[in-house]
Amino acid sequence: MEFNITLLPGDGIGPEVVNEAVRVLDVISGKYKHSFNFQERLMGGCSIDKSGKSITDETLADCKASDAVLFGAVGGPKWDDPNAKDRPERGLLALRKGLGVFANLRPVKVHPALVDRSPLKPDRLTGVDILVLRELTGGLYFGQPKLREVKDGHERAVDTLEYYDYEIRRIVSLAFELAKGRRKKVTSVDKANVLESSRLWRQVATQIGKEHPDVELNHVLVDTASMKLVAAPASMDVVVTENMFGDILTDEASVLAGSMGLLPSASLGESGLRSGGEARMGLYEPIHGSAPDIAGSGIANPVGTILSAALMLRYSFELESEACVIETAVEQAIAEGARTTDLGGKLTTRQMTDEIIQRL
Ligand code: NAD
């Protein structure tokens, strides 16, 4: 099969880790006789330096026209001026909006050989395998009105938390779809005891639950969910929630794994016709930032980006076995002692990838 992939390496360690994911994809394409056509574009600080904009209209159009986008990270001290006309992160928000990716997926697994890297007690970490789905394009971050004003002699700020039923339906349906390939448990997180938008969320989630009697549905309040994530993380399978709750819970969940450098993410849009078949547009990226403190030293952990490439094969290209081959190679490499410095080892970015490639 043939797929067109836009690479957005970005800033800092972004280009270093995307480069390694491409090496892995090249091996997979050779082994399984696929063609991955890569085109590289600028986004973030490097794009501001070249064109004055964090993302240009042409880059956005190229991303939309491709089958999937693999992104590294953006940002760094050079572009931190709060009064600057454009900032690297703005390009990422424009990209997510432009691609219509409404569901952010963060799988969190704890590798048995790395339990000592996690701040949690080892007995809490056995069997942790969570998939968090965060709604990405609605809720408090986008609702209108959003304003500041002076009213009755006081400064006042307003954000609006708004959800339509269709926005809830599409992400909760995706959660159920994904749960079927896992342990068949969906935890829907809301604050239905206080928020009207959460009551609508729970109502829609309950309806969808009835359409999927083979999947167990639990409703959990966000405050309880945040405790459960650290007290009994192994009891959770698929977790689905709105934008702001998801923003906080995904970061909390990522701590379980022990290093930022290990975790991938996928942001998915609606299914559509791409490359001649039905597929989902997706933006794939590691969860970490541009790590300016280690950029250029060749020691960044490439695993988060390599696993993001595996998610791309799974969700956008429906190449499940190829995705599993990459994930198994990563697991084996770690089990057999391959470690970058963030994991307490000595391997460089390139050597860590070599260890993974040897096991593909
Ligand atoms: P960061 O994730 O870049 O780094 C946090 C710490 O984790 C650093 O000590 C870094 O060295 C380490 N780290 C991160 N990724 C690693 C990897 N792959 N291997 C080894 N160590 C790794 O977060 P930060 O320092 O808060 O932010 C740095 C810049 O990145 C800022 O400009 C921020 O705005 C930007 N940022 C971008 C994104 C993104 O592009 N999606 C996300 C978060 C932060």
Measured from the CA of 44, which atom of ligand 1 is nearest?
Answer: 40
Mean pLDDT of the chain: 95
Across residues 199-212, what is the average pLDDT? 98
Per the annotation, the verdict on 191 as an active-site residue is yes
Residue 180 clears pLDDT 80, i.e. is over it = yes
Residue 274 clears pLDDT 80, i.e. is over it = no
Best substitution site from 90, 92, 260 to test ligand 1's pocket, by max atoms within 8 Å of Cβ? 260
Q: Which pLDDT value is given to residue 254? A: 87
Phi, psi dihedrals of residue 262, rounded to the nearest 5°:
-95, -20
Contact 116, 345 (CB under 8 A): no
Q: Which pLDDT value is given to residue 14? A: 98
Residue 162 clears pLDDT 90, i.e. is over it = yes
Residue 275 clears pLDDT 60, i.e. is over it = no
Long-range Cβ pairs for the range 225-233 (8 Å, 24+) = 225/187, 225/189, 225/249, 226/252, 229/130, 229/253, 229/256, 230/120, 230/124, 230/256, 231/124, 232/124, 233/120, 233/124, 233/125, 233/128, 233/130
Q: Which of 109, 163, 190, 191 is catalytic?
A: 191
Q: pLDDT tens for residues 212-243?
A: 999 999 999 999 999 999 999 999 999 999 99
How far, in Å, is the centroid of ligand 1 from the Cα of 12?
9
Confidence of residue 82 (pLDDT cuts 50, 70, 90): confident
Measured from the CA of 13, which atom of ligand 1 is nearest?
Answer: 18
Per the annotation, the verdict on 166 as an active-site residue is no
Per the annotation, the verdict on 342 as an active-site residue is no
**Burial readout 207-244 (b: 16 or more C-beta within 10 A, e: otherwise):** ebbeebeebebbbbbbeebbebbeeebeebbbbbbbbb
> Is any atom of ligand 1 closer than 6 Å to the C-beta of 342?
yes
Residue partners of 250: CB distance under 8 A and separation at least 6: 104, 106, 132, 134, 287
By alpha-carbon position, which residue is closest to atom 6 of ligand 1?
291
Confidence of residue 309 (pLDDT cuts 50, 70, 90): very high
Q: Which pLDDT value is given to residue 238? A: 98
Could you tell me the two tokens for 207?
């309806």
Residues of the chain above pLDDT 90, percent: 91
Superfamily of domain 1-102+260-360: Isopropylmalate Dehydrogenase (3.40.718.10)
Given this chain, do its domains 1-102+260-360 and 119-257 carry the same CATH topology?
Answer: yes
Confidence of residue 328 (pLDDT cuts 50, 70, 90): very high
Paired residues of 157 in beta bridges: 148
Best substitution site from 42, 288, 301, 342 to test ligand 1's pocket, by max atoms within 8 Å of Cβ? 288
How far, in Å, is the centroid of ligand 1 from the Cα of 38?
25
Residue 325 clears pLDDT 90, i.e. is over it = yes
Across residues 322-333, what is the average pLDDT? 98
Q: pLDDT tens for residues 338-347?
A: 999 999 999 9
How far, in Å, is the centroid of ligand 1 from the Cα of 83?
22
Contact 323, 311 (CB under 8 A): yes
Contact 34, 2 (CB under 8 A): yes
> Is any atom of ligand 1 closer than 6 Å to the C-beta of 75?
yes
CA distances from 12 to 38, 77, 90, 94, 299 (A): 21, 10, 17, 20, 12
Q: What is the pTM of this model?
A: 0.93
Residue 273 clears pLDDT 60, i.e. is over it = no
Q: Which pLDDT value is given to residue 204? A: 98
CA distances from 242 to 102, 138, 233, 324 (A): 10, 8, 19, 29
CA distances from 139 to 2, 115, 195, 242, 253 (A): 36, 35, 12, 7, 21
Q: pLDDT tens for residues 17-39?
A: 999 999 999 999 999 999 999 99
Q: Which pLDDT value is given to residue 276? A: 53
Contact 12, 345 (CB under 8 A): no
Q: Which pLDDT value is given to residue 53? A: 97
> Is any atom of ligand 1 closer than 6 Å to the C-beta of 81?
no
**In this structure, what is the dihedral angle of CA atoms 41, 43, 46, 48, given to the nearest 10 degrees?**
120
> Is any atom of ligand 1 closer than 6 Å to the C-beta of 339?
no
Q: Which of 64, 86, 141, 184 is catalytic?
A: 141
Q: Which of 26, 57, 80, 251 is catalytic?
A: 251
Across residues 157-185, what is the average pLDDT? 96
Measured from the CA of 286, which atom of ligand 1 is nearest?
Answer: 41
Superfamily of domain 119-257: Isopropylmalate Dehydrogenase (3.40.718.10)
What are the structural domain ranges in the chain? 1-102+260-360, 119-257
Q: Which pLDDT value is given to residue 270? A: 82
Measured from the CA of 342, which atom of ligand 1 is nearest?
Answer: 20
